[in-house]
Amino acid sequence: MSPIFTRIRAFAAALIFGGLVAGCGVNTIPTLDEQVKGQWSEVQNQYQRRAELIPNLVETVKGFAAQERETLTAVVEARAKATQITVNAEQLADPEAVKRFLDAQQQLSGALGRLLAVSENYPELKSNQNFLALQSQLEGTENRIAVARRDYIQSVQAYNTEVRTFPGRLWALIWGASPKATFETAAENQTAPKVQF
């Protein structure tokens, strides 16, 4: 066998091997992992936006409803707790870390709901332009949070499907990739509210 034929054969083998590696999804897991991380960043971005709106909302309500100090304190404390608990992209495979983060955000959502319910008792507050603007921004942010969470769930679903199915499962074993945690709703959100007239 001539040296040129050996080189051509080695080059052809390298091309075939490269094609097989490229075609079997070796880049799929890192690509999907980066999408998950990007979507998680957007979720955190929207929660941060909400956290930044809360002090202005609390101050506006405080001016009108000073006697609602307990509700205002609960909101401030829930915000502080929610901003202290963070989950970075590397912790997304840890369901407990994600659960702690989501529990803190859920407590903040509950406190905000009580604050907005208190505002119903103060007609002057409900007509205050600052309060109305903040309330509108908060509602918009809650919608953005829902969209960001939905997008994150979809990217986690694609990633988890890839690392659990063939051939992605083989690459996941080689790279040590594991499934990511997703959002789970609280048990109390699973039951329909009772409405009584």
Q: Which structural domains are found in the chain, ordered by start?
A: 3-181 (1.20.1440.20)
CB neighbours of 172 closer than 8 A, spacing ≥ 6?
Answer: 29, 162, 163, 164, 178
Q: Among 84-88, 129-133, 190-194, where is mean pLDDT lowest?
A: 190-194
pLDDT value of position 107: 92
- pLDDT(137) > 70: yes
- pLDDT(47) > 50: yes
Q: Among 74-78, 122-126, 173-177, 187-191, where is mean pLDDT lowest?
A: 187-191
**What phi and psi, each to the nearest 5 degrees, are found at residue 192?**
-70, 140
- pLDDT(190) > 70: no
pLDDT band (50, 70, 90) for residue 60: confident
Burial class (CB in 10 A: 0-12, 13-18, 19+), 13: exposed
- pLDDT(1) > 70: no
User: Per-residue pLDDT averaged across 138-167, rounded?
Assistant: 94
